[in-house]
A = this chain, B = another copy of it.
Amino acid sequence: MTKQELFKLIKEKKSFLCVGLDTDAKKIPAFLSEKYENPVLEFNKAIIDATADYCVAYKPNLAFYENSGVNGLDTLDATVEYIRTNYPAHFIIADAKRGDIGNTSAMYAHAFFGNELNYDAVTVAPYMGEDSVTPFLTYAGKWVILLALTSNKGAYDFQFVRDAETGERIFEKVLKTSLNWGNDENMMYVVGATKAEMLTDIRAIVPDHFLLVPGVGAQGGSLQEVAKYGLNSSCGLLVNSSRQIIFASVAEDYAQAARTEAAKVQAEMELILTDAKLI
């Protein structure tokens, strides 16, 4: 998907919501396990059907599927296929945080972009530098979403370290350095919503890039703050919400509850996009 196509989708849906499919088998409604052979897949399908009107992207978190071994990966594949078949316009992000030396990253890139399974983007960790990231950039229409400033407490351990030479913080250095590897047509950045006040500094370096923003909802970030500092002329934001939407209810009405929650976020996003004259 190109950047223009993504922006078009955002305008059509009046939403920049990404629904995180962090489907913890232990947290899904208990009745599903009694009724279905693959309760996680059933849950995902119902959540996708319930939320597709209100979001532009889905982000399965690979850990939650790897956790169940090969069966979990089967469920993941079936989930992605379900989205592709029923909602072909949606953007699909493999939240995998991969990254290794060049020949190994090339293998990961092929795993996410080279098979029939058709992700649009994969999250990549920057610690190992250029040759760990660039192999993911060789697939036309596919995206690297590079970790810059993450939403968790541990972000303060290394991401804010200031470079003695340039005065830049590591997350800023990641942004600046990676501008030499890709561009706003094939790279996005992860910026945690819990650090929205940093978005001004981040936009100074990457004004035109899309940012994937986790941390709204369960992690405590504010959508208004994120939009205030993060919006650009192509929207430039994909705001992810996982637990707040997919586990809005764990009773029989879980899908309806997820739909209501997604609709609520979409309505807020529609106002934001309208105020910004983007729709």
Interface residues, chain A, CB within 8 Å of chain B?
22, 24, 61, 63-64, 66-67, 69-70, 73-74, 77, 95, 97-105, 107-108, 110-111, 114-115, 117, 125-133, 147, 150-159, 161-165, 167, 170, 173-174, 177, 219
* A114–B26 CA distance with the chains assembled, in angstroms: 15
A63 near B129 with CB under 8 A, answer no
For A167, list chain B residues within 8 Å (CB): 164
B residues in contact with A22, CB < 8 Å: 103-104
Question: Which residues from B are CB-within-8-Å of A174?
Answer: 158
User: Which among B66, B107, B108, B133 is the interface contact of A108 at CB below 8 angstroms?
Assistant: B66
Give the CA-CA distance A20 to B64 in the complex, in Å: 26
Q: CA–CA, A101 to B154, complex, Å?
A: 8
CA distance A115 to B73 in the complex (A): 14
Mind listing 25 A-B residue pairs with CB under 8 Å?
A22-B104, A61-B100, A63-B98, A63-B107, A64-B107, A66-B108, A69-B77, A69-B117, A97-B128, A102-B154, A127-B150, A127-B159, A128-B154, A129-B152, A129-B155, A129-B156, A129-B157, A130-B154, A158-B170, A158-B174, A158-B177, A161-B173, A162-B163, A162-B164, A170-B170
Known contacts being A63-B105, A159-B129, A162-B165, is A69 close to B170, with CB within 8 Å? no
CB distance from A122 to the nearest CB of B (A): 11
B152 touches A102 (CB 8 A): yes
Q: CA of A74 to CA of B209 in the docked complex: distance in angstroms?
A: 38
- Whole-angstrom CA separation of A61 from B150 in the bound complex: 26
Interface centre among A98, A158, A164, A173 (most CB of B within 10 A): A158
In the complex, what residues of B have CB within 8 A of residue A107's CB?
Answer: 24, 61, 63-64, 66-67
The residues of B that contact A126 with a CB separation of less than 8 Å are 127, 157-158
